[in-house]
């Protein structure tokens, strides 16, 4: 089958790989219809390299069931599905406490198990997420990042009527804008330095657009909030710079939740660090998208709000490409050639 396999930093290859086969009674093989590039994929491609040399990459996908193991009863060949790509051990202390996202051996397909940048991908049946008829494959390919976002919101104490700032309008930030509204935010501020992404943020429901190149984001938010700041700030850019600046966005007693991963050291100027202390901020981390019972309410909630249209990913999808375009696309992304928001590959096309 055609696949994208990661061999080293900046070495991803479009090549033939063996098709997965049924080995366990609970195996499900999915024919991949759409698969998205995650920001973590870019970081591993650019800086970190693979966990296993030559591993088939990718984990945000949706498709059609092609084969099932002998023990699989509720999932049928031809079913339209997405998949939770995350594995947990079930044995460590965190897993025993039901805190699955904190598992000591947490991993995803594309890392130590073959991923979804391929014509077919295999997962255990409990990882399979059925799709309603009116949730299409493009939308369903973003169920995983949507679940990452709502997992982060579950960590907060957001209440209806809150004002929320989203720092970074990539895929996670654009989904966070929509989830903030679902959680009852009365006003959502979208912060970025890319006007194209800010325009998409407006399309998906942001109330106020803030280009932080024009004036520091916290100064603009202070003006908009009568000197108070927001109730909740979401760091979704994964930048060392924004990971410091985000502390200046909340009001006294407000919250910050980190969903982005900077993959670099963060140097926090005194001004920003003092906001944590002087404003008695509550600072939260959020990791992955699973909870008990596995895969968690994050997945059901994502499917539900996609089915109602309250999560609309269509404005986010900037590129729809064949899988063979993967190597050049990854280079374009890390070199910032063109304006990319969400990239989807279609393995069936080549």
Cα gap 250→258, rounded to integer Å: 13
What are the residue ranges in the chain where pLDDT is below 70?
A: 350
In 3D space, the residue among 166, 180, 338 whose CA is nearest the CA of residue 238 turns out to be: 166
Q: DSSP string spanning 215-279?
A: S-HHHHHHHHTTT--EEEEEE-S--TTHHHHGGGSEEEEEEEEE-----S-----HHHHHHHHHT
- Give the distance, in angstroms, between the CA of residue 330 and the centroid of all CA atoms in the same chain: 17
266 within 8 A of 243, measured Cβ to Cβ? yes
Q: What pLDDT does 32 receive?
A: 98
Q: What pLDDT does 350 receive?
A: 56
CATH fold, domain 148-285, is Rossmann fold (3.40.50)
Helix/strand/coil for 149? helix
Q: What pLDDT does 336 receive?
A: 87
Write out the CATH class of domain 2-142+313-349.
Answer: alpha beta
- Give the distance, in angstroms, between the CA of residue 61 and the centroid of all CA atoms in the same chain: 12
Predicted TM-score of the model (pTM): 0.97
Q: What pLDDT does 262 receive?
A: 87
- Going from N- to C-terminal start, the domains of the chain cover 2-142+313-349, 148-285
> How many residues would you count in the chain?
350
Cα gap 239→225, rounded to integer Å: 25
């Amino acid at each position: 089958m055609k696949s994208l396999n990661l061999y080293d930093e900046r070495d991803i290859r479009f090549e033939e790989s063996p098709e997965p086969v049924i080995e366990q009674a609970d195996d499900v093989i999915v024919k991949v219809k759409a698969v998205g590039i995650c920001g973590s994929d870019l970081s591993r491609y650019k800086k970190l390299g693979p966990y296993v040399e030559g591993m088939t990459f990718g984990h945000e996908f949706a498709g059609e069931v092609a084969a099932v193991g002998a023990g699989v009863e509720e999932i049928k060949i031809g079913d339209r599905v997405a998949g939770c790509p995350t594995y947990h051990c079930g044995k460590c202390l965190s897993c025993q406490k039901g805190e699955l996202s904190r598992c000591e051996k947490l991993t995803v397909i594309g890392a130590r198990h073959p991923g979804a940048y391929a014509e077919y991908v295999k997962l255990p049946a409990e990882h399979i997420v059925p799709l309603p008829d009116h949730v299409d494959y493009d939308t369903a390919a973003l169920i995983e990042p949507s679940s990452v976002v709502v997992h982060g919101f579950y960590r907060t104490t957001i209440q209806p009527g809150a004002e929320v700032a989203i720092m970074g309008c990539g895929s996670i930030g654009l989904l966070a804008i929509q989830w903030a509204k679902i959680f009852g935010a009365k006003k959502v501020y979208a912060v970025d330095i890319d006007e194209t992404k800010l325009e998409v943020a407006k399309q998906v429901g942001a109330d106020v657009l803030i280009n932080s190149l024009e004036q520091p984001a916290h100064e603009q938010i202070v003006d908009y909030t009568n000197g108070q700041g927001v109730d909740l700030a979401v760091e979704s850019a994964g930048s060392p710079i924004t990971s410091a600046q985000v502390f200046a966005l909340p009001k006294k007693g407000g919250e910050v939740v980190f969903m982005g991963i900077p993959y670099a050291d963060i140097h926090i100027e005194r001004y920003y660090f003092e906001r944590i202390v002087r404003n008695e901020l509550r600072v939260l981390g959020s990791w992955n998208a699973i909870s008990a019972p596995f895969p968690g309410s994050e997945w059901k909630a994502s499917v539900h709000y996609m089915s109602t249209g309250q999560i609309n990913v269509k404005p986010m999808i900037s590129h729809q490409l064949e899988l063979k375009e993967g190597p050049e696309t990854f280079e374009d992304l890390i070199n910032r050639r063109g304006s990319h928001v969400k990239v989807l590959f279609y393995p069936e096309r080549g």
